[in-house]
Amino acid sequence: MAYRRFLLLFVLLLAMTAQPACRQAEPKPTPTPTPIPTPSLTGAEAVAREYLRAWQDQDYTRMYTFLSPSAMAAIPAEKFVSRYQAIADEATMTSLTASILGVQRALTATAQVTFTITVDTRFVGQFQVENVLDLSYDGQRWGVDWTPKAIFPLLVWDNLVHMFVQVPSRGSIYDRWDLPLATEGKLITLGVVPAWIQDEAKLLSILSRVLGLSQEAIKEKYAYAARPDWFMPVGDITPEAQQAYEALLSSEPGITWREKPIRVYPYGSLAAQVIGYTTLIDAETLARLKDQGYSENDRIGVAGLEGWGESHLAGARGGTLAIISPDGRIVWTLAERPAAVSKSIYTTLDIEFQRTVESILGQQVGAIVVLDVRNGDVLAMVSHPGYDPNVFITGTSQQRQALLNDPQRPFLNRAIAGLYPPGSTFKIVTMSAGMQELGLTQHSTFYCAGQWTGLADGATRYCWLRSGHGTLNLLNGLVQSCDTVFWEIGKALNEHDPYALPRWARAFGLGAPTGLNALYEEAGLIADPDWKAQHYSGAEQQWLPRDAVNMAIGQGDVLVTPLQMANLVAAVANGGTLYRPRLVRRVGSLMGDDIQDFPPQVLSQLPVSPANLQVVQQAMEGVCRYGTASRAFIGATIRMAGKSGTAEAPPGEPHAWFVGYAPADNPQIAVAVVLEHGGEGGRNAAPLFRQVVEAYLALPKR
């Protein structure tokens, strides 16, 4: 028994130690992986800092280089750049600064950088946003895990950044009695809702009758509506027309209408060049004003007071910069600026007097300016031909183009931008200079034989009265407008000082803008030796005695505007005070808390002694009583004073001038009349002057 147990144990031991003939190699143990070091947050912060610096520099292409591979796969570089650029443009962004607030690890290979951006915009000012930038480490570098939220927290892929612009109603323009010359009104836009149409033939017939358009043109307006239930505008009519046709329009399904605000000029063409007009903004102006909230469908003042006062009349647009959802709902407001109320312009014009003066000028090409001699107020400013500014609101493109192509230039305000030689009206200046510079008196005598050779330059100059005036004194020299008298004075002034007569002309307000407190005006021209040396060449550069004698009678290198001449005689009338002409008396909103007043302003005093100025006044009254224009004043019950002028303007007829003031014994208004190629001033312009004076003095006093 013991033997058997021993034998069994031996066999077992032998089996355990025996080697098999063939066996597989034992598997090697799995090596322990080498741990990857945790990426440093310093690297994440460095990438975020460079990313934000590129944003500050508006270098969106460089920003893209810091994105992680997965972010780059989600948005191509061009779309990334265009999105940032579009947001900057929409926000009118001028600058952006970014500051890192902190860095923290999210997981082992991810990080979050908290930062703030401060954005300066032209339109809604400055705003600040705090945000988080997600970054990940791909084993080689940190990258920004970009989504639109990296711009603004609530900006997801489908949301947009949009500027909502608030446009205040345009201010009005008023005359001196607060009658509206330009104001806000309304038009009625007729339209069609295609889904509502029941009888298209009848609908087209009605709209064609009301709008004056062909049925084909009307149908084309709504034929391609994106949705049949949309309102499709067809044409505009006045509220009066809408009322007249309301029953007819309401009777046909498919026709409907909406109101829209428009600019209205209640007096039509009256004072059109002064008031100006509005038109759709052009591309060049839009590029300049876009940051102020203007858009391509806005109207803007481009002439007259509408143009001059655009910043007042338009107010300041307000806006809300917001993140919006695809359906237009505001998700988050980034910044806001309220709209500033527009202001109105209150002028010195008397619109009913303006109407009368325009009727006096009639269809003659020219201008008339009427000033209050006591303060420089512009009471009437007439220029013909003119235009109706309503054409730019409700007129056709053909009507507008006809005005723009009119060779008579209806948009030219001849009162302030028409340049004319003044002719004999300039003799007022020459007479004043002769008395003050040369010591002449009203009794100084001259002899006119009808022709003059006083320069010994081989030229014979002929007085307008070929038979000659004989012997006459200085006072009667102006009354009779004797050319010989003023040639002699011009020659003597030039010998005394070649700069004397040009200097006196400028002292009377010629050769420079009057300073009218609104609108652009031409400066005119008063030449002198320096000017001639700069503008001529060769022998013509030299200032010669003939230049002075030509200037003495208002010819040669002398150009003036009617406003300058009206201001000149206003100063003579009031005793020598040269005012700055005033067209705008105040600007302000209806609230009345931000009124900007423009009080009368004295520019200078005429350098003429009271005694000498009285001689000029006496001579100007003599012109109307028994001088060159006396026929125009036969039977007048009002004492008037003035000076006629017939200014050579080859190849056509001379320009006809008359400038003066009234009443002569108590001056209230100064008037300048010029008729382009209108012939003789005393015959053709003086009667208009008289009519203007009589119309003004007949006005009801308020």
d(CA 207, CA 100): 64
Whats the size of the chain, residue-wise? 702
HSE of 166, CA atoms in CB hemisphere, 13 A: 14
Q: Is 424 considered catalytic here? A: yes
Tokens of 452: 């003059």
8 A C-beta contact, residue 509 and residue 567 = yes
Give alpha helix (H) positions in 518-660: 529-535, 545-552, 562-573, 610-626
- Tokens 């007096």 correspond to 267
Amino acid at 620: M
First to last CA, the chain: 155
d(CA 642, CA 661): 6
Of 92, 96, 97, the closest CA to residue 121 belongs to 92
Spatial neighbors of 438 by CB under 8 A, at least 6 apart, are 489, 492, 493, 496
| Burial of 223 (C-beta count, 10 Å sphere; 0-12/13-18/19+) | exposed
Tokens of 650: 């080859």
Q: Which of 344, 383, 424, 481 is catalytic?
A: 424
Please give the DSSP secondary-structure letter assigned to residue 420: B
Cα torsion 288, 289, 290, 296 to 10°: value is -100
Of 672, 678, 675, the closest CA to residue 660 belongs to 672
d(CA 417, CA 275): 15
8 A C-beta contact, residue 77 and residue 64 = yes
d(CA 119, CA 131): 13
Q: Is the torsion defined by CA of 532, 533, 537, 541 positive or negative?
A: positive
Please give the DSSP secondary-structure letter assigned to residue 350: -
8 A C-beta contact, residue 191 and residue 231 = yes
User: Rounded to 5 degrees, what are φ and ψ at 167?
Assistant: -110, 115
d(CA 598, CA 354): 21
Cis amide bond preceding 663, omega within 30: yes
Buried residues in 247-259 as b, exposed as e (16+ CB within 10 A) = eebeebebbbbee
Of 417, 345, 377, 346, the closest CA to residue 601 belongs to 377
DSSP assignment of 197-210 equals -S-HHHHHHHHHHH
d(CA 301, CA 442): 51
8 A C-beta contact, residue 488 and residue 438 = no
Buried residues in 38-72 as b, exposed as e (16+ CB within 10 A) = ebebeebbebbbebbebbeeeebeebbebbbeebb
8 A C-beta contact, residue 622 and residue 475 = yes
Catalytic (active-site) positions:
424
